[in-house]
């Protein structure tokens, strides 16, 4: 990342020079956006570049820098789209190809990435960063010889590239050239002694040489520079373990989990350590956490079964080994283990069947094995799965989907419905941007000395203020009792103080006076929705979409009170508002949210799409549609929506992208 930022500084100077004096304002936004990039304020930078693109959609620099900001937020699809645009605007701009290659590599599209690097080198053969980027991709492909050759070329062009030394050192370490790796890491540290990665990488090489004291010294320095990096503590725990410092190992595992409570690999390792020191119950708890955060990994279940067997919980062991077998039916050793447990509980027939199945699978593997040892450890009766796992090792490989160890149970709320409310200082600033043409009449004709706006929440006005405004509407009704807008105001004001029944009554009167009053249907629907939310909140319900494979409420105990989930009238009012005004984007958006609540996810996606189509542009519509698509396992489309939501300013989109859209 550091070498990328350095490149950006140079390119910014070139591009600003290219931009003419008539583009002074664009230069200002470019420079301010670049400052945001250097400060890692990526979402702020994206908004600045969005402004440029809106004003002048052919400014290459805006797409270029916005692409970098998206890349930094792990929005690789969004970055790829921006770098595509850069190349479209200037097919001779080498850096456009290089950064598109970097983005493709992050998306694990390595061969296409190599093609982009090739083009970048053709256009700019003397730029060492082109070789560094390609070398790093070869490193990801584990083609260490080609990787080293590219880093050699980069250093031939410029001997003062610390990141080239660090990457080459890693490649050499992967070839078990630990002395060469240490030499490169040392050179990288000399050139940039403030980069903790240099010390952390050298520590790994030193530990491979069993120079544990020197390795610990390097990791201590790395941690001093970056006390929030969980990988450094994890590495130090491994080294302390090899140095027989079990207390220190436990301390560092605890620190990792303090900083990252969802780190499955650390729970797994800590469970092994607890088992080794006799804390069996603690080991079971940690294996449980590892399995919860990475439910498709067989090893936590298998190892937990072993601990349960050791403490005499044979039925629990059978259950765990059965789970491991369900995930991976060719796990011969799990059949053998379950056979032993079944003998212990008197299930002789089941035990014999498991033993025979295990033997059959081992024989099948041996007869078909043509030198492929990928599955050998799962067939080998002597395989030891109670070893502390280091870095990029067996624990990752046991994840049959090749995914990172991460929290697959993340719970993310849909963005809330949109409401018409009184513009007030307590509303979040971003909500004020929503505009609705039909609000103009409300704002120009109302006697309340207030302005109405669209927001994600109602203003929190004092009860006395609301009563004072209600009195004004009553006085106006004495002049014109058939003014539907006066009843609309009364409905809105009553909803602000949760006087829902009076609110509904007022909206209904407004509708009786004007059957085509789309805003009255819209707000009556919202009030009905808020009533349901309020009633459910009394029972502490909260409807969410979870990306673990189900949509549910946070509480699901049979002893809880009944959930209020009759949204029929809400949808009926929104249907009517849309019938009256087919371009009512906010109504489509709200109806989509309600359909999510009723688990009509396909209908919700259609409504979010309609909202986006008719406008105005609602970032929340992209976010919610993306979340729903990901829930339905259409990650490709969902991630495109998340990218757009992030681009439009919803920062919560980026953690979703990181979890479900990026493969880094």
**Residues 454, 414 contacting (CB under 8 angstroms):** no
Q: 553: phi > 0 → left, psi -120 to 50 → alpha, else beta; which?
A: beta
- The angle, 0 to 180 degrees and rounded to 10, between the axes of the packed helices 60-72 and 94-106 is 20
- The span from the CA of 243 to the CA of 211, in Å, is 10
- Residue 432: the pLDDT is 43
- The span from the CA of 599 to the CA of 351, in Å, is 44
- Residue 404: the pLDDT is 29
**Phi–psi pair at 58, nearest 5 degrees:** -115, 20
In our burial notation (b when 16+ CB lie closer than 10 A, e otherwise), range 270-291 reads: bbbbbbeeebbebbbbbbbbbb
Measuring CA to CA, which residue among 35, 95, 26 is closest to residue 62? Answer: 26
User: Quick one: DSSP state of residue 393?
Assistant: S
Show the CA angle centred on residue 380, arms to residues 379 and 384, nearest 5°. Answer: 120
The helix/strand/coil state of 263 is coil
- The span from the CA of 63 to the CA of 53, in Å, is 8
- Residue 446: the pLDDT is 76
511-544: pLDDT as tens digits: 999 999 999 999 999 999 988 887 776 554 444 5
- The span from the CA of 439 to the CA of 518, in Å, is 11
- Residue 447: the pLDDT is 80
**Residues 333, 382 contacting (CB under 8 angstroms):** no
- The span from the CA of 525 to the CA of 573, in Å, is 5
- The span from the CA of 296 to the CA of 294, in Å, is 6
C-alpha distances out from residue 637 to 141, 267, 539, Å: 27, 33, 35
DSSP string, 636-660: HHHHHHHHHHHHTT-TTHHHHHHHH
223-277: pLDDT as tens digits: 999 999 999 999 999 999 999 999 999 999 999 999 999 888 999 999 999 999 9
In our burial notation (b when 16+ CB lie closer than 10 A, e otherwise), range 614-632 reads: beeebbbbbbbbbbbbbbe
Predicted TM-score of the model (pTM): 0.73
What are the CB-based long-range contacts (under 8 Å, 24+) for 216-221? 216/240, 216/243, 221/196
- Residue 371: the pLDDT is 57
Domains of the chain in sequence order: 2-226+235-241 (1.25.40.10), 262-397 (1.25.40.10), 419-633 (1.25.40.10)
- Residue 267: the pLDDT is 94
DSSP H helices, 107-177, are: 110-123, 128-140, 144-157, 162-174
Collect the ranges in the chain with pLDDT lower than 50: 17-18, 20-24, 392-410, 430-432, 540-543, 548-562, 664
C-alpha distances out from residue 77 to 85, 383, 401, 540, Å: 13, 41, 21, 38
Measuring CA to CA, which residue among 410, 384, 345 is closest to residue 548? Answer: 410
123 burial level (CB within 10 Å; 0-12, 13-18, 19+)? middle
- The span from the CA of 488 to the CA of 511, in Å, is 9
- Residue 9: the pLDDT is 52
**Residues 653, 642 contacting (CB under 8 angstroms):** yes
């Amino acid at each position: 990342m550091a070498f990328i930022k350095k490149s950006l500084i140079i390119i910014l100077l070139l591009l600003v020079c290219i931009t003419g004096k008539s583009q002074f304002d664009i230069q200002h936004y470019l420079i301010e956006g670049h400052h945001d990039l250097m400060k890692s304020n990526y979402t702020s930078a994206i908004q600045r570049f969005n402004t440029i693109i809106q004003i002048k959609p052919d400014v290459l620099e805006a797409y270029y820098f916005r692409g970098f900001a998206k890349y930094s937020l792990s929005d690789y699809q969004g970055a790829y789209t921006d770098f595509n645009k850069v190349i479209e605007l200037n097919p001779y701009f080498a850096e456009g190809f290089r950064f598109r290659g970097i983005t493709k590599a992050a998306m694990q599209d390595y061969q296409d990435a190599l093609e982009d690097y090739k083009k970048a080198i053709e256009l700019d053969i003397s730029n060492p960063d082109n070789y560094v980027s390609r070398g790093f991709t070869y490193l990801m492909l584990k083609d260490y010889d080609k990787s080293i050759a590219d880093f050699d070329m980069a250093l031939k062009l410029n001997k003062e590239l610390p990141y080239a030394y660090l990457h080459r050192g890693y490649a050499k370490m992967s070839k078990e050239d630990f002395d060469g790796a240490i030499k490169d890491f040392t050179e990288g540290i000399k050139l940039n002694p403030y980069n903790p990665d240099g010390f952390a990488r050298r520590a790994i090489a030193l530990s491979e040489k069993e120079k544990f004291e020197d390795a610990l010294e390097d990791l201590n320095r790395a941690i001093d520079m970056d006390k929030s990096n969980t990988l450094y503590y994890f590495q130090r725990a491994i080294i302390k373990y090899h140095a027989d410092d079990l207390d220190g190992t436990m301390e560092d595992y605890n620190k990792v989990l303090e900083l990252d409570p969802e780190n499955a690999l650390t729970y797994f390792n800590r469970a092994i350590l607890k088992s080794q020191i006799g804390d069996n119950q603690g080991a079971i708890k940690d294996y449980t956490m590892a399995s919860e955060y990475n439910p498709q990994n067989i090893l936590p279940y298998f190892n937990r079964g072993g601990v349960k067997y050791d403490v005499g919980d044979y039925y629990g062991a059978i259950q765990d080994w059965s789970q491991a077998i369900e995930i991976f039916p060719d796990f011969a050793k799990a059949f053998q283990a379950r056979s032993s447990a079944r003998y212990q509980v008197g299930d002789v027939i089941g035990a014999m069947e498991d033993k025979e199945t295990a033997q059959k699978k081992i024989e099948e593997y041996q007869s078909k094995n043509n030198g492929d040892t990928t599955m050998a450890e799962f067939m080998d009766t002597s395989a030891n799965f109670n070893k502390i796992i280091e870095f990029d090792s067996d624990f990752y490989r046991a994840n049959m989907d090749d995914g990172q160890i991460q929290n697959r149970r993340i719970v993310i709320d849909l963005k809330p419905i949109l409401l018409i409310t009184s513009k007030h200082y307590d509303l979040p600033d971003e909500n004020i941007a929503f505009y609705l043409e039909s609000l103009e009449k409300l704002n120009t004709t109302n006697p309340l000395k207030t302005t109405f706006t669209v927001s994600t929440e109602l203003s929190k006005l004092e009860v006395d203020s609301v009563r004072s405004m209600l009195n004004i509407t009553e006085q106006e009704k004495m002049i014109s009792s058939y003014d539907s807008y006066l009843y609309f105001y009364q409905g809105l004001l009553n909803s602000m103080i949760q006087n829902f029944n009076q609110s509904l009554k007022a909206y209904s009167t407004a509708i009786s006076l004007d059957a085509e009053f789309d805003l009255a249907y819209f707000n009556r629907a919202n009030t009905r929705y808020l009533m349901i939310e309020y009633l459910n909140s009394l029972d502490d319900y909260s409807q969410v979409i979870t990306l673990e494979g189900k949509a549910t409420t946070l509480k699901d105990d049979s002893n809880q009170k009944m959930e209020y989930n009759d949204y029929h009238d809400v949808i009926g009012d929104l249907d009517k508002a849309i019938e009256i005004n087919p371009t009512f984007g906010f109504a489509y958006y709200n109806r989509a949210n309600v359909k999510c609540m009723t688990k009509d996810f396909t209908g919700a996606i259609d409504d979010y799409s309609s909202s986006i189509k008719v406008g105005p542009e609602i970032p929340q519509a992209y976010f919610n549609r993306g979340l729903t698509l990901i829930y339905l396992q259409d990650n490709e489309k969902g991630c495109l929506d998340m990218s757009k939501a992030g681009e439009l300013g919803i920062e919560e989109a980026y953690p979703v992208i990181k979890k479900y859209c990026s493969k880094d």
